[in-house]
Amino acid sequence: MAQDTWRNWAGTHSSTPHRFDTPRTVAELSALVARATELGLHVKAVGAGHSFTGAAVTDGVLVSLDNIAGIESVRTTPEGPVATVLAGTRLRSLNEQLWSRGLAMINLGDIDVQSIAGALSTGTHGTGARFGGLATLIRGLQIVLADGSVVDCSETENPDLYQAARIGLGALGIISKLDLAVQPAYAMRAVEGPARLDETLDGLEHDLANVDHFEFYWFPHTNRVLTKRNTRLPGDTPLRPLGRARGFVDDELMSNTLFEGINRLTTTFPGAIPQINQLSARALSAREFTDRSYRVFASPRRVRFREMEYAVPQAAVKDVLRDIGSWLDRSGCRIAFPVEVRFAPADDVWLSTANGRDSAYVAVHQYHRRDHREYFAAVEAIARAVDGRPHWGKMHGRAAADLRPTYARFDDFCAVRDKYDPARTFDNDYLRTVLA
C-alpha cells in the first residue's frame, strides 16, 4: 500500500504510518512482523478504525487483516458449537456467514462494522445481565508474536498468553484467528418505547432479571428515556421485521438524518437543547418487531460523535446518573446526545471492564462539531468516584498509574507483555499511557 494518512472513524486520531500492509495469509503476516521487528519498526493491526482512542495509531507498519477473513470451520463441543474465525472478519459478514450455517453470535454490541479481532481487543460488549462482553466468548486464539512466530493459546495451551490476550489492547501480538463459542441461530423480539427515567430506575432490578438484553437511553435535561427490551426467541420463530418504511423513518430519518439536523442546530443554539430533548424524547413512538438476532442488535450510526463510556458497579448506576444530572443542572453545559446505559455480568477476563463485578455501562456522547471536554471530564470524575473503568476503545483521561488499582490482574497482564513483546514492537502512544 502507498504511504497515506490513516484516520479513525470519529476523527479523533490520525497518523501517517511508515507503511500500510494487507497480508493475504498468516505466513505473509508472520514474515512482515518479523521483518518489522528486525528493522526496529513498530507494528499495529487495524480493524475498522472504530476506536475513539488512539489504540490503532502507529508510526510504523499499519496492518489491515481485511484479506485474512472468513469462517475457517465450525466444530461441535460438549459446551456447544465453536467457530474458528479469521481475525479480519467484519462482524456484519461474520453474522451473515454464521446465519447461513444455522448459527449466531451469542451476544453483540450495537454496530456491526468492526473487525472481530479489533472488537475483542478493546473489550467490546453489548447489554444483558446474563450476557458477557465478546471476549467471554473466546475459546482459543492464534497470535503472531513480535519475532514472527505463530502461537496457539487457550486455557490449557500457553494459558498466560491466552488470559492476557482475550482483551489484549493489541499489545501482545497480532491475532490471526480465534475460536469463538457460538450458538444455534435465534430470533429476537425488540420492544422499544419512551418512558420516565425515575420509573425506569425503579424497575431496573426487575428488567435486569427478566429481560435478556435491557438498555435505555436517557435524554439529558429531562426525565425521559427510550427503553429497549430484546428477548431471545427460537430460530424458527416467524419474523416480523420493521417494515421498510418504518425502518427508514426510525433508523435513517429520526436516528440519523433528523438527529444530524438537530445536532447542527443545537451547535449554534445550545440553549435550546433542553426543550429539543423533551420534544425528541416524546417524538419517539413505541415499536415492536422480531427479526434475526444480529439484525436487532445492530443499527446504523451515521451521525459522527465522540464517546466516553464507563463501566461502573451495577449498584452505583442510579447514583451516577443522578450525579450527571445534577452536574448538568449546575454547570450550564447543554447536551443533545442521549446517555446510553447498558449492563453486563461479572467476568474473569483480566482487562475486562466487567472483571470481577456486575457492571453497568454509562456512555456519554458529544456531536463531533461541539467541544466534549468539560462534559467528559465531569462524567469521568463522577465515574471514578465509584471506581469506574473506562472502555479501552472510547475516549478517557486515565493512565496506567490510576488504572492499575482497579484491575486485580493488571500487573499479570504487564508481565505477559514483557515476556512476549520485550522489544515493544506493538507499542504506541496509547499503550505507553495506559500500560506505561
Ligand X SMILES: Cc1cc2nc3c(=O)[nH]c(=O)nc-3n(C[C@H](O)[C@H](O)[C@H](O)COP(=O)(O)OP(=O)(O)OC[C@H]3O[C@@H](n4cnc5c(N)ncnc54)[C@H](O)[C@@H]3O)c2cc1C
**Quick one: which segment of 41-49, 206-214, 322-330, 366-374 binds ligand X (CB under 6 A)?**
41-49
Site string for ligand X, 62-81 (x = CB under 6 A): ---x----------------
Which residue's CB is nearer to ligand X, number 49 or number 132?
Answer: 49
Which residue's CB is nearer to ligand X, number 48 or number 180?
Answer: 48
The verdict on 148 binding ligand X (CB under 6 A) reads no
Site string for ligand X, 97-136 (x = CB under 6 A): ------------xxx--xx-xxx-xx-xx-----------
The verdict on 61 binding ligand X (CB under 6 A) reads no
Beta carbons within 8 Å of 395's beta carbon, 6+ residues apart: 12, 52, 53, 306, 307, 308, 372, 376
Q: What is the DSSP string of 270-337?
A: GGGHHHHHHHHHHH---EEEEEEHHHHH-----S-EEEEEEEEEGGGHHHHHHHHHHHHHHH-----S
How many angstroms separate the CA atoms of 198 and 209, rounded? 18
Residue with cell 486515565: 398
The verdict on 277 binding ligand X (CB under 6 A) reads no
Least Å from the CB of residue 269 to ligand X: 25
Give Cα 43 to chain centroid, integer Å.
22
Choice from 174, 339, 362, 378 touching ligand X (CB under 6 A) = 174
Among residues 38, 3, 42, the alpha carbon closest in space to that of 19 is found at 3
The verdict on 393 binding ligand X (CB under 6 A) reads yes
The verdict on 54 binding ligand X (CB under 6 A) reads no
How many angstroms separate the CA atoms of 275 and 336, rounded? 10
The verdict on 48 binding ligand X (CB under 6 A) reads yes
The verdict on 50 binding ligand X (CB under 6 A) reads yes
Number of shown-chain residues binding ligand X (CB under 6 A): 33
SS3 assignment, position 59: coil
How many angstroms separate the CA atoms of 418 and 411, rounded? 10
Least Å from the CB of residue 140 to ligand X: 14
How many angstroms separate the CA atoms of 233 and 56, rounded? 37
Q: Which of residues 213-272 bind ligand X (CB under 6 A)?
A: none
How many angstroms separate the CA atoms of 250 and 258, rounded? 10
Residues in touch with ligand X (CB under 6 A): 9-10, 44-51, 55-56, 65, 87, 109-111, 114-115, 117-119, 121-122, 124-125, 169-170, 174-175, 301, 391, 393
